[in-house]
Structure 1
Amino acid sequence: MALIDAEKVQYAALAFLWIEYLWELYLDIRQYHLCKKTENVPPELKQVMSKETFDKARLYTLDKDKYGFIKSAFSIVLSTFVIWSGLLATVWMYAESISPWKGEVATSCIWLFLLIAMSTLIDLPFSVYYTFVLEEKYGFNKQTAKFYLWDKIKSFILSQALSLPIASIIIVIVKYGGDLFFVWLWITVGIIVLLLLTIYPSYIAPLFDKYTPLPEGELRTDIEKLASELKFPLGQLYVVEGSKRSAHSNAYFYGLFGAKRIVLFDTLLANPESGGCQNDEVLAVLSHELGHWKHGHIVKNIIIMQTNLFLMFLVFGFMFGFPPIYQAVGFPPNLQPVLVGLLVVMQYIMMPYNALLSFLLTCLSRYFEFQADAFALKLGKADPLQRALVQLNKDNLGFPIYDSLFSAWHHSHPPLLQRLVALQTNSHSKED
C-alpha cells in the first residue's frame, strides 16, 4: 500500500509539473505569435518611439522568447528526470558516504551543497549564453568574462554561506521542536528573512556592485526636498554602478526601520550615449517609489509573505512524517530527511497552491503599481512620469504589446500602454 501511495505522490508531482509547464508554454506561444505579427508602432507611441527602436525591441523579445522555450523545455525534462530517477536519494547516499560526521545535519549540509553546486553548473551554459550572446547582441551586457566569473563565484559562496546554516537550524527545530515545531520554524525563519532584508542592501549587495553617494547638485537637492515634503525618513542617497553589469536601469529604496536609503542606477541618470532620464523624470520615478512607501506596500507584502510561510510550514507539519513523500523521490521507507520532506512538500505537493498564490500576488502587485502611479500624479508628476516610463521602456527595449492572458498571468507591473492610459485618464479626471 505504501508503494502505491508513493507512486501516487510521484505521479501527482509529475502531473503538477507538466500541467504548469504546458500552461506556461501555451501563454508563451500566445505572446510569441502576437509579437511576431505586430510589426507597426502602436498609435499611442508613434510620437515617442521610432520604428527602429520598436523593431529592435520586437526582435529582442522574440529572441528572449526562443531562449525561454529552450530553457523551459530543458527544465521540465530535468525535473522529470530528478523525480523519476530518484536522483535526490542517490545524492543523499553519496553525501552520507563521504560525510566525516554522523547525523542528519552533517549529511544534509553536504547534500544541499552538492545540489546547489550541480544546479549552478547545469544553469551555467544558459547563463553564459543569455549574458554573452543574447544580451550582448542588443548592447545590454557590460560584463567582461573575468567580472562575470568572479560574480558567479561570489554568488555561489554566498548562497552556500547562507543556506547551510539556515538548513541546519531548520533541521534542529523540526527534530526537537515537538508537536508545534512548525510554529517555532515559522517564527525562526520569519526572523531570518527580516534580518536578511535588513542587512542585504548594506552588507551583501555592496559585495557585487559599487555604491557611491549621489553628488551634490540639482538632482540631490530636489530629491531631498521631495523627501522632506513627504516626511519620508531619507537617510542616504546612493548611485549604484550597474553599468558595469548591464545597460538596464532601475531605482529603489530600502530600509525596514528608521532612516531609509534611496538607490539610483547610474544607467537611470541621463547619459548622451546610453539614454537615461532627465532630472524631472528621475524625480517622477522616485515619486512612484515613494508611493509604495506611503501606501505601506512593503509592510503589506511582508505580512502576506509571513502568512504564506506559516501556511506552508503548517502543511509541512502535517505531512513531513508521511513516508510516501520520501519514497516518491527514491528514498527507502525508513529514511525521512527533514530537508527532503520540506522540498517535496513545498515544491511539488503545494505546487497548485503556489501557482494560484503567485497569480493572486501578481494581480495585487499590479494594483499596488497603479496606486503608486496615482500617488505620483497627485504630486504633479504625471507628465514626467509618462516620459520616464517611455524612456525606460526604450532604454530596456521593452516590447509594448502583450497578449492579455499572458500579461494577466505574468506581469507584476502593468504594461507600458496600460500605465500611460491610466495616467492620462486620471490626469484628465483631476483637471475636470
Structure 2
Amino acid sequence: MNAEQLKYLLIGLVVAGFLFDKLTSWLNVRQRVGDVPATLRSHLSQEKLQESKSYQRTNYRFGLLTGGLSFLVTVACLQWGVFGWLDTLVGSWVAAPIWQSLIFFGLLFIASDVLALPFDYYHTFKIEEDFGFNKTTKKTFVLDKLKGYALGIVLGGGLLALLLWLVDTLGASFWLYFWAVAAFFMVLLNMFYTSWILPLFNKLTPLEEGALKDSIMGYASSVGFSLDNVFVIDGSTRSSKANAFFSGIGKRKKVVLYDTLIEQHTTEELTAVLAHEIGHYKKKHILQSMVISVLQLGAMLFVLSLFVNSETISLALGGERAAVHLNLIGFVLLFSPISTLLGIWMNMLSRKNEYEADRYAKETYAAAPLAEGLKTLSVKTLTQINPHPLHVFVNYSHPPLMKRLERLEQLSNEM
C-alpha cells in the first residue's frame, strides 16, 4: 500500500468511527419515553422522566456538534497534509528529533484545547446549569484547567519524552522497556491517586463519627475487609451529581464517598453501596482490570513497534520524511477499530462484574437498600432508564438501571 492509498484508508477509518459512534447515539436518543415503570413510581414522576429525556437530547445535539467539528478538523488535516506541514515547520525550528516531537504534540494539544475550551465552558455553565447540576464557579473552572495543564505537562509530557527517547535509542525494541515503565506507573497511580492527584482538585476529609461511619465500619469488619477510614470528597463544589469509588490496593486502599451521595441517601443505602464496592475488591475485579489493562498496553506497544519508523505512514500524513510523531498519530488511527472492539469487550466484562458486585452486596448485606440507592441515584442524575440495546452494548460499563433492579429482584426471590 502506498502513501496515497494509506491516507484514504486513514480517512475511511475516521469516517467509519464517527458514523458508528453517532449511529449508536442517534438510536439511543430516539428511544420512546414511555410510562414510568411500576418499580420507580415512588421515585420518578412522568415530568421527571420527560426532563431526563430532554437532558439526553440536549447532550446528544451538543455531542453531535462537538464531535462533528472534531471529525471535520481531523479529516481536513489528513486530506490536506496539515500534520506533515506542521512537522516541516517544527523541523525548521529545532534539529533534535525528540524536541521536534515534543513541540509537535505540544502545539497540537494547545490547538485542540483552544478549540474545545468554549464548548467545555458552554456545557458546564449552560447545559449542566440549565438542568440543575452545575455547582462549579468560573474560578474553579479556570483553576481546574490550569491544574490539568500542569499535570498533563509533568506526567503526560514526561512519559511521552521517555517513549521518544527509548524509540530514538533502542529503535523497534523500545516497546518492552516502555511497557515495564508504563505498567509500573499504572500500578503506582492506582495506589496513590487519592493521596497525590485527587487532592489537587478536591478536598478529602475522613467521614465524621456517627451512625453512618459505625454502619460502614461494622459491615466492613463483618466481611473481613480491612478498612482504616472512609473519606468524603467535596463533589458538591462542582456538581450536584453523586458518586462513590474505591481506589488503591493493599494497605493503600480507600473508599471515597461524595458529599452529595451522603446528602441524598440513607445510612442503609450508603452501606449497601459500600458493600457493592467491597464486592469488587473481594471478587478481584480491580486486580483483574489492572492485569488486563497492562496486557492490552503491552500488545498495543508491540504492534506500535512494527510501525513506529514507517516512512509510508509519515508520508500519508503529509510528511516529507519518516517522523516518529507522525507515525504515532497514524498508528492511533489505524488501531482505532481494534480499540473500539477492546472497549466493547471491556464494557461487557465490566457489566458482568457489576452484576457480581451487586450479588455480593445482596448476599452479605441486603438487596433492598441497594436497589433503593440505585433508584435515587439514577433519578437524581437524570439517567436514561430505557437506553437502546446497541448503545448499551457498545458504551455502557454498568448495566442499565432496570436490568440491575430486575437482577436484584431475581436474587431476592432465590432465597
1:105-146 deviations in whole A, cap 9, x for unaligned? Answer: 222222222111111111111111110110000110001111
- For 2:326, the aligned partner's letter is V
Q: Does 1:251 align with 2:244?
A: yes
Q: Distance in 1 between matches of 2:252 and 2:75?
A: 47
Change (3 A) 1:178 1:19: closer
Q: Which moved more, 1:177-186 or 1:142-151?
A: 177-186
Q: Distance in 2 between matches of 1:68 and 1:268?
A: 27
* SS of 2:168 mapped into structure 1: helix
8 Å Cα contact 2:191/2:253 also seen in 1: no
Residue 330 of structure 2 corresponds to which residue in structure 1? 344
Q: Distance in 1 between matches of 2:242 and 2:288?
A: 26
Q: What amino acid is the match of 1:327?
A: L
2:347 paired with 1:362: yes
The 5-angstrom pairing of residues 16-31 of structure 1 reads: 16-31=13-28
In structure 1, list runs of 5 or more residues that go unmatched.
271-275
Name 2:33's counterpart in structure 1: 38
How many angstroms does 1:176 deviate by?
1.7
CA drift at 1:20: 1.6
CA contact (8 A) 1:235 1:260 kept: no
The alpha-carbon deviation at position 179 of structure 1 amounts to: 5.1
1:322, CA displacement in angstroms? 2.0
Q: Once the two structures are superposed, what CA deviation does each residue of 1:312-369 show, in whole Å capped at 9, x if it has no partner? A: 111111122221111111111x3322x3322321x11111111111111111110011
Corresponding residue for 1:316?
Answer: 304
1:72 alignment counterpart = 67
Whether 2:144 is the aligned partner of 1:151: answer: yes
The equivalent of 2:76 in structure 1 is 81
Which residue in the other structure is 2:226 paired with? 233
Aligned-partner Cα distance in 2 for 1:323–1:234: 54
Letter in 2 for 1:77: L
Distance 2:223 2:167 in 1: 45
Cα separation, 1, equivalents of 2:9 and 2:127: 36
Offset, 1:386 = 0.3
Q: Are 2:212 and 2:267, in contact at CA under 8 Å, matched by a contact in 1?
A: yes
Q: 2:294 aligned with 1:294, yes or no?
A: no
| Conserved? CA contact 2:43–2:379, under 8 Å | no
- How does 1:171-250 map onto structure 2 within 5 Å? 171-177=164-170, 180-250=173-243
C-alpha deviation, 1:95, in angstroms: 3.1
Letter in 1 for 2:297: L
Equivalents in 2 of 1:360, 1:167: separation in Å?
A: 27
Distance 2:53 2:37 in 1: 12
Counterpart CA distance in 1 for 2:54 and 2:381 is 13
> Partner of 1:319: helix, strand, or coil?
coil
The answer to whether the 8 Å contact 2:172/2:308 transfers is no
CA contact (8 A) 1:30 1:403 kept: yes
**RMSD of aligned alpha carbons:** 1.6
1:377 and 2:362 matched: yes
Identical counterparts, % of pairs: 29
After superposition, the C-alpha distances for 1:175-198 in whole angstroms (9 at most, x for unaligned) are 222553221121122122222223
**SS of the residue 2:384 aligns to:** coil
| Cα deviation, residue 39, structure 1 | 4.2
- Aligned AA (1:353): I
Work out the CA distance in 2 between the residues paired with 1:30 and 1:75: 21
In 2 relative to 1, CA 96–321 (structure 1 residues): closer, same or farther, beyond 3 Å? closer
Bigger shift: 77-86 or 175-184?
175-184
Secondary structure of 1:238 counterpart: strand
Q: How many residues align?
A: 415
Q: Which amino acid aligns with 1:254?
A: S
State the partner residue of 2:2.
5
**TM-score (ref. length: structure 1):** 0.92
Does the 8 Å CA contact 1:233/1:260 hold for their aligned counterparts? no
Query: Partner residue of 2:385?
Result: 400
The alpha-carbon deviation at position 268 of structure 1 amounts to 0.1
| Partner residue, 1:273 | none
- Aligned ranges for residues 123-134 of structure 1 at < 5 Å? 123-134=116-127
Match of residue 266 from structure 1: 259
Q: Which moved more, 1:383-392 or 1:188-197?
A: 188-197
- Judge conservation of contact 1:382–1:423 (CA < 8 Å) in 2: yes
The code of the aligned residue for 1:335 comes to: A
